[in-house]
Amino acid sequence: MNAVSLGPLVFSHERLHVVIAIAAFFLAIELATWIWPTRAGVVHRWSLVVAASWIVAARAGFMLANLDSFAADPVSALAVWQGGFAPFAGAAGLALAALAAMLRGPEVLRPLALAVIASGLAYTAAGLALPVEARGQLPRIALPALDSAPVPLSDAEGRPAIINLWVSWCPPCRREMPMMMDLARARDDVVVRFANQGEPRETVLRYLDSQNLSGERVVLDAEQRLMEAFGLLGLPSTLFFAADGSLVAVHIGEISRAALANRMNELSRETP
């Protein structure tokens, strides 16, 4: 669901859309330098400036919109692989870079425009071919907690739920878990469960003890039923369910504090 496996790598559809758009941008730049070989040097330089301007401006825009999350964890500003970009802010940065390029060397405007258009078309086509979908219901099952007591995934009080699928040997799982547990403790309007996939109870306990993490919200999915039910290809994966149990979003890979907080707020607002 919402992911593609390329050998050992797993890309969520959202991130694959971006990879395709970036590839299209630079392929178009190479095509432009083949068409206008005398401009190759300056076009290559300005293409890097334009791409960097979009990335920096889009990241800065996202950070400004989520100041509380980044204030709590400033180092996460560098974790661009987690996602977190504001497209309109990026477009403003791109426009400024394109204006500077036009003023410094008008001959690069046409190749850059070609590359930007190609990138936009590729992104749109990728979105149509590989849509980001969320379909399914929160399974009405109970998984064992660390003390073997059965824990229902659904909430009797009708709250929305977030289920994080993880294993102890997965580096992104290990990085995001302390942050996710911290946010889970601070919210009582959303149920958060950490469903370990396939590891023995002793392994999970040993890992949590070594990291000084609470096992309060941890459940054991020994048969990896959740991965199978939702067709997940990689870990970590985080599932977001509305209060009625319907799946509203899936995040494949490491999630940022800002993205998780935003999803929690959206789920809470949509709860009747």
pLDDT over threshold 90, residue 83:
no
- What is the number of structural domains in the chain? 2
Q: What is the pLDDT of residue 12?
A: 77
In a domain, 203, yes or no: yes
99, 129, 159 — which closes off a domain? 129
Distances (CA, A) of 264 to 80, 107, 177, 270: 21, 48, 16, 10
CA distance 215 to 72: 23
Decide if 197 is inside a domain.
yes
Residue 245 domain-assigned (yes or no): yes
**Mean pLDDT confidence for 85-89:** 90
Any domain includes 137: no
Question: What is the spatial distance between Cα 110 and Cα 28, in angstroms, rounded to a whole number?
Answer: 11
> Could you tell me the CATH number of the domain that includes residue 174?
3.40.30.10
Position 14 in a domain: yes
Query: For position 235, what pLDDT does the model report?
Result: 94
Model confidence, pTM: 0.85
Do both 36 and 78 map to the same domain?
Answer: yes
- Could you say which of 129, 155, 189 is where a domain stops? 129
Strands of 40-173 (E only): list them. Answer: 142-144, 150-152, 161-166
- Where is the domain boundary, 66, 95, 129? 129
Q: Which domain holds residue 223?
A: 142-269
- For the segment 146-178, what is each residue's pLDDT rounded down to a tens digit? 999 999 988 757 899 999 999 999 999 999 999
163 and 221 part of one domain: yes
Residue 8 covered by a domain: yes
Nearest to 255 by CA among 18, 56, 2, 12: 12
Cα 23 to Cα 3, 101, 118, 126: the distances in Å are 18, 21, 10, 12
Q: Are residues 146 and 124 in the same domain?
A: no
pLDDT, one tens digit per residue, over 68-82 is 888 888 888 888 888
